[in-house]
């Protein structure tokens, strides 16, 4: 029977098959999760809105720039893996019909992890004048060693 025909035969639709990923409920049973969400809302930040125009990477030597970018690269190997992991967990909270504050907290963590990844990318791009530490052409011996290590870390982590 098509949906059109059902609508003419009954005042209400049949029960929706479960589990259905789209909950139409906003139960709030865990006060602590509400507190976490409220704190996350107060602490929202946007890496793109930092005063990047005041950061002058050219005031550093290329060795210093590549060393600092290496640190951000090491951090980014972890930080770039977090958004998809937490996004997957966020989807699971909907599939399992977790209460509203739980869903919002997983959203908040996902967003914050994305901010961390973006921050790493912005810092690396500014320092190296290139958006990718793996294809950047190193200018120093230290930069070559750092890139080699970053490639191995990326390979082993992927």
Domain contains 106: yes
Domain contains 15: no
Residue 150 lies in domain: 61-157
- Percent of the chain residues past pLDDT 90, beyond the cut: 59
The pLDDT of residue 25 is above 80: no
The pLDDT of residue 1 is above 60: no
For 95-149, the pLDDT digits (tens) are 888 999 999 999 999 999 999 999 999 999 999 999 999 999 999 999 999 999 9
Domain contains 143: yes
Domain count, the chain: 1
Domain contains 46: no
Domain contains 38: no
Domain contains 101: yes
Residue 3 half-sphere exposure toward CB, CA atoms < 13 A: 1
Confidence of residue 9 (pLDDT cuts 50, 70, 90): confident
Domain contains 149: yes
The set of residues, in sequence order, having a beta carbon less than 8 Å from that of 107 and lying 6+ positions away, is 90
Q: Report how far residue 36's alpha carbon sits from residue 24's, in angstroms, rounded to the nearest whole number.
A: 22
* Helix residue ranges per DSSP H, the chain: 3-7, 31-42, 62-79, 82-95, 100-128, 141-157
Mean pLDDT over the full length of the chain = 89
Domain contains 43: no
């Amino acid at each position: 029977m098509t949906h059109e025909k059902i609508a003419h035969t009954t005042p209400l639709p049949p029960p929706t098959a479960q589990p259905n990923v789209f909950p139409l409920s906003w139960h709030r049973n865990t006060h602590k999760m509400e507190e976490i969400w409220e704190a996350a809302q107060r602490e929202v930040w946007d890496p793109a809105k930092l005063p990047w125009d005041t950061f002058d990477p050219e005031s550093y030597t290329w060795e210093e720039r590549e060393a600092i970018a290496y640190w951000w690269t090491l951090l980014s190997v972890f930080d770039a893996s977090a958004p998809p992991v937490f996004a997957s967990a966020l989807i699971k909270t909907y599939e399992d019909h977790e209460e509203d504050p739980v869903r919002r907290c997983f959203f908040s963590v996902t967003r914050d992890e994305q901010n961390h990844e973006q921050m790493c990318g912005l810092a690396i791009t500014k320092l190296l004048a290139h958006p990718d530490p793996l294809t950047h052409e190193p200018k120093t011996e230290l930069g070559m060693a750092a890139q080699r290590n970053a490639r191995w870390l990326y390979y082993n982590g992927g």
